[in-house]
Structure 1
Amino acid sequence: ILFGKMGLPGGSKTKTGQWSTSAQLLEDLAAEGHELPRKIVDWRQLTKLKSTYTDALPGFINPGTNRVHTSYALAATTTGRLSSSDPNLQNIPVRTAEGRKIRTAFIAEKGHKLVSADYSQIELRVLAHVAEIPQLKQAFADGADIHAITASEMFNVPVEGMPSEVRRRAKAINFGIIYGISAFGLANQLSIPRDEAGAYIKRYFERFPGIRDYIEETKAYARENGFVETIFGRRIHYPEIRSSNPSVRAFNERASINARLQGTAADIIRRAMVHMEEALEKAKLSARMLLQVHDELIFETVEAEVEATIPVVRRVMENAPMPAVSMSVPLHVDARAADNWDEAH
C-alpha cells in the first residue's frame, strides 16, 4: 500500500453509500479515526510536498540573482487566466498547514516586505453582477458575510449565532455552483448522502432563481454560438459543446458556466496589472510586482513605504473594471505585508 496503488479493483462504498476511489477511501477512513489510513494519507501528502517543492524549487534559483523566476503564458488557458511554469509558482500549497510552510520559504529582501493583495470572492461578486441577484448584491454592498447570508436564506436560520457547519455547507454550495457542481460532487465534498446534496442544490436555486436563469441562459448561448463572453466582451470558445457525446457535451456546458465568471476575473486582474506600474510611479513608490497567482498579486517594497503602497494597490485593483464596465457589486481587495509569503497571504 505504501509504495503503489491499493488493490481495490473498482473502489469501495463509503458510509454515504457512494462508490469511492482508493484515495478517497483512504481519506474517508482517516476521517473516521483509523490510524493506519491516516498515516498513509499523511505520508502521501508529505512525499508530494517533498518531491514537488522542497526538492525541486532550490534547483530553480538563478545563480545571478539568487531568486526564483517563473515564466508566464498569456494564452495557454481556456478562460484567459495566466499560467506559470519552470517552476509553476501558482500551485504553491495554501490549504494545509504543512503546505503553507512551503510559502514561508519565499521571503522579502532585507529591509523589504512582501505585500499580498487578493481579490475577495471575486467570482461570486461577478456572478451577483451578471446574474442580477438582489440578495447577493445587497450582501456584498453591505460588506456582510456572504456565506452566512446564503445559509440564512437557504436554511431559515439567523446569521447571528449560526452554527459553523451550516455556514460551511452554504460556502461549499456557493463556490460549487460556480463550477456547475452536481449532487454527487457536493455529496462527496460534504460527506453527505447524494439525495441530501441534491435537496440542498434544489433549495439553493429556489432561493436564488436568478442563478438558475444565468446557468440556463449561459448554456443556451454557448450551444448556439460555440462561445461565451466575459463582461468585457472577450470570447471564450467551446466548440465541443455541440458534441454528440453526452459526457463531452456536459463537461463543456459546466465549463461555459464558470468561464464567464473566471474569465471576467482574469480580465479584471490583468487590467489591474497593466495600470499598476504607472500608479506606483505616480505615487513615487518603489514597490515591484513580483507574482500573479490568479486572484492575488504579490509585491516587494521597502519597509518604509508599506503603509503608502497598500492603499495604492487596493485602489488600482478595486477600480480595474472602470471605465470599460461599471460593476453593480463592489470589488474588495484584502492586502497585508509581512516578511514571507505565507504571513502576507
Structure 2
Amino acid sequence: MSQITDPPPAAVFPRLGWVDDLLLPALEAAVAALPGAERKVAGYHRGWCDAEGAPVPTVSSRGKAVRPALTLLSAVAVGGSARCALPGAVAVELVHDFTLLHDDVIDGDALRRHRRAAWSVFGTPSAVLTGDALLVGAMRAVTETPAPVATAAVQELVRALLELVEGQSLDVTFEEAPKVSVAQYLAMAEGKTGSLMGCACALGGVLAGADSERVSGLREFGRRLGVAFQCADDLLGIWGRTARSGKPVGADLAARKKSLPVAAALAGTDAAAEQLRSLYGSSHPLGEQDIALMRELVEKAGGREAAEQEARRQMSAALRALSCARPTADAYRQLQEIAWAMIRRDT
C-alpha cells in the first residue's frame, strides 16, 4: 500500500452514520448504569442534557467520538466485525470523557464543547467523582468482552491508562519547569494523548482476534496519530477561534503552559524568543495585550511552523504504521480520512 504524505484537498471529518448507530445506544446504556448524581453530570458533559437533566435536542455540543470510531474501524480493518469491538469502543470513549472532566479541573478551563465545563456547573467534587465513575464503567465494559480476548483487552487498557497518567503528570510538572525541550514535550504527548488513541486502535484489533503484528501496527498508528492530534490541539489553543473550536483560546498562554509551539519558540535564539522567555519567566498576571504579544512572538520565533511540521511528521509515521497492520483497502481509506481530519481542524 503506497505511503501518503499529503492530505486530501479538503479533510473534513467524515460522518460515519453506522458508527453512531452502533455506538450511541451502548454508550447511553453504560452512562445509565452510573450512580444517579454522576449519571446526570456525565449526560451534561456529553451534551445529552442540560444542567437540570432535561434532554438537549441539538447535537452541536457533542463530540465526534473519534476514539471509538477508530476502535470499530480498526476491527473491520483486520477482518473482524464492528460489533465485536463495541465494548472496546465504549471503554475508550468513557476513558476519554474521564480525562476531559479531570483535565478541565486541573487546568481550570471553564469551557468545553461550546458550553460551561462540568466542574464550573456542578462543582469540582462532582466532576472528579463523575470522571472516576466513567473510568469504572470503562473497565467494566472491557471485562464483559468474550473470555478468550477479555484478558488481552483489559491489559491493553490498563497499560494505556498507566501511560496516560504518567503523561498527564508530566504535563502538570512542565508548568513549573523553567525549560521544556521539544523532545520532552513529545514524550509527554505520547503518554497523555497518544496512549489512549493507540489503545483505541489496538483494542479493535484485539477484539477482532488479529495477530500481534497487526495489533502492533494499529497501536503504533494510533499513538503517532495521537501525537499529531496533540500538535494540532496546541495550535488551536493559541491560534484557534473559540466560536469554532469550543476551546478557551489563549488560556494556555495566559497560564504560561509550555505547549509544543511555545516549547519550540522558547528554544530559539532570536529576539522574539528572548522576549518570549522574558514574559514566560515573569510572575505578573497576563492581560489580553500580553497574550496577543505572546501569540505574535511564538509565531515569529518559529513555534507555529515547528508544530505544524511535527504534526505532519507524526502523520506520515502513523500512516506507515497503519500499512504494517495490513488493513483492508476500504478501512484504510476511512482511517486515513479520519486521521487527516483530526489534524486539519479549523484554526
Q: Same fold (TM over 0.5)?
A: no
TM-score calculated relative to the size of structure 1: 0.28
| Structure 2 length-normalised TM | 0.28
Larger radius of gyration: 1
- Greater helix content: 2
Bigger strand fraction: 1
